Amino acid sequence: MMIRLAILPLLLALNFSMCKRNPTTTTSSEPASSPPAIAGETAGGSPGPGVAGAAPSPKITKTVVDQTAQTIIFCYHRLVDKIRYPGTEITPADFEAQMKQLKDAGITVISMQDLLAWRRGEKNIPPRCAVISFDDGWKSQYEVGWPIMKKFGYPFTMFIYTEGVRGGSLGGGEAITWEQLADMRDNGVDIEAHTATHQDLREGHNIMLAAPGGKRTRTKLTGPAYEQWVRNEVVGSKELLEQRLGIKVNCFAVPFGNYNEHVKELARNAGYEAMFTVYGQPITFTSPLDALGRYAIEANKPKVFVDAVKMIGTSTGGASAVAEVGAANLSTQPADGETIRTALPLIKANLSRVGAIEPGSVQMRVSGLGTVPVSYDPKTGTISYQVTQKLRGNSCTVIVSAKSEGKKVEAHWTFGIDAAAAAAPVSAAAKSTPTPKK
């Protein structure tokens, strides 16, 4: 049920963000996938067009979020007046100028948690947004970056690698302290995970191990030794942040963007909802939550910022925009993601949550069939179509569109077809779907 936005970043500049305390290059990670939040009973507090004050019943009103919204996520490192490492530093003046440019461009800076709530269908966000994150945990982020963010009233996220905090095996004099992090937490700053030691998380890659005495050895870990190590990086760092700060951590920035399926699975199982890389691109309603790209902004590549803003600068907000509605809001049948056992389903959806529908405007398209003669009952808001010609293939996508208050709304969803069951003698399939009479 996803919308494909036409904005494909043609050239995804590979932004290698260097992480500071490590001499190596760092790219960031990607977010873990979050459970497809059932856009559910939001009722309270969301600014979305959802019906307010819905009764607490099975017919709870959901927020209908604008699925055409887009967000660019920025990742910054140190803020210093004299740039010595242009790959990870930016001057406070340049940083502040960029924050202002966002405002001037009409881009709303939202919190990471609002972005995720939007993805869960719980909260609406403006059409064009940005999320600001600071990586690694530098003192200058606390002392210089935070005051600038306060000036603009912008929320932001800190991605911390725990051994890099002051006092940790990698935390030097420029590192942020736990006290500073607690201060940020107390003032609403979002603090999230960026591993324990900021290294390549894939098995068999070169890593540095720091012995308790401080001695460091370069090595490659495999098998159980690797598993234990990577678990501490992905899961242990999350638990440490949660315990030291008394917070919930649900985002994971992958150092250097170096991860794989195994790492993703570990992160997912640990409860991360989103994983982040440094391959910047506009985040849409369908961007995979285990690979959300961030734009790493570096002093020597000012164009990255400019290009990122351009990416969403002109693409949405026009009168022709189509508001995408989550299929979950429409009580579709078959449901999004469901696998059915017949090639002749009855397809239904309830548009009553969308708002006032112009009856003549309702359309249904079915993959493999095209536009079908759908029936619409204005009283119940139900649209339905009994498929009469066997659907082919293992899946079927339905697109429903209608006009509501002058605006075009659309919902897409996809269900699977169990080919074996569907091909079986009619009796098996006929339960839910009568065979069409020829």
What six digits make up the tokens of 388? 């009469």
Q: Minimum CB separation from Zn ion for residue 91, in Å?
A: 20
* Cα–Cα nearest to 300, from 82, 73, 88, 76: 88
The stretch near Zn ion (CB under 5 A) out of 19-27, 60-68, 107-115, 399-407 is 19-27
Please provide the size of the chain in residues.
Answer: 438
- Cβ-proximal residue to Zn ion, closest one: 19
Q: Minimum CB separation from Zn ion for residue 296, in Å?
A: 9
Q: Minimum CB separation from Zn ion for residue 300, in Å?
A: 17
- Check binding of 290 to Zn ion (CB under 5 A): no
Q: Could you please report the per-residue DSSP string of 201-233?
A: -STT-EEEEE-TTS-EEEEE--HHHHHHHHHII
Options 114, 136, 298, 324; binder of Zn ion; rule CB under 5 A = 136
Options 1, 3, 5, 19; binder of Zn ion; rule CB under 5 A = 19
Q: How many residues bind Zn ion, per CB under 5 A?
A: 4
| 22 to 51: interface string for Zn ion, x by CB under 5 A | ----x-------------------------
- Check binding of 201 to Zn ion (CB under 5 A): no
Residues 161-190 contacting Zn ion, CB under 5 A: none
* Cα–Cα nearest to 134, from 82, 172, 89, 177: 89
- Check binding of 192 to Zn ion (CB under 5 A): no
Q: Could you please report the per-residue DSSP string of 325-391?
A: --GGGGT-BSPTT-EES-SSPEEEEE-TTT-SB-GGG-EEEETTTEEE--EEETTTTEEEEE--SPP
The stretch near Zn ion (CB under 5 A) out of 133-141, 170-178, 389-397, 407-415 is 133-141
Q: Minimum CB separation from Zn ion for residue 192, in Å?
A: 12
CB 225 within 8 A of CB 207: no
H/E stretch holding 303 reads helix 302-313
First-residue to last-residue Cα distance in the chain: 32
Q: How many CB atoms lie within 10 A of CB 204?
A: 11
d(CA 200, CA 255): 7
- Check binding of 200 to Zn ion (CB under 5 A): no
* Minimum CB distance to Zn ion smaller for 263 or for 351: 263
d(CA 132, CA 48): 22
* Minimum CB distance to Zn ion smaller for 28 or for 61: 28
Q: Minimum CB separation from Zn ion for residue 185, in Å?
A: 20
CB 75 within 8 A of CB 292: no
Q: Minimum CB separation from Zn ion for residue 204, in Å?
A: 21
Cβ neighbourhood burial of 372 (10 Å; 0-12, 13-18, 19+): middle
Q: Minimum CB separation from Zn ion for residue 198, in Å?
A: 6
The stretch near Zn ion (CB under 5 A) out of 129-137, 230-238, 368-376, 385-393 is 129-137
* Cα–Cα nearest to 127, from 110, 151, 113: 110
The stretch near Zn ion (CB under 5 A) out of 15-23, 92-100, 230-238, 285-293 is 15-23
Options 30, 135, 273, 410; binder of Zn ion; rule CB under 5 A = 135
CB 354 within 8 A of CB 63: no
Q: Minimum CB separation from Zn ion for residue 125, in Å?
A: 26
The stretch near Zn ion (CB under 5 A) out of 11-19, 29-37, 96-104, 278-286 is 11-19
* Minimum CB distance to Zn ion smaller for 71 or for 88: 88
* Minimum CB distance to Zn ion smaller for 24 or for 206: 24
- Check binding of 237 to Zn ion (CB under 5 A): no
Q: Which residues bind Zn ion (CB under 5 A)?
A: 19, 26, 135-136
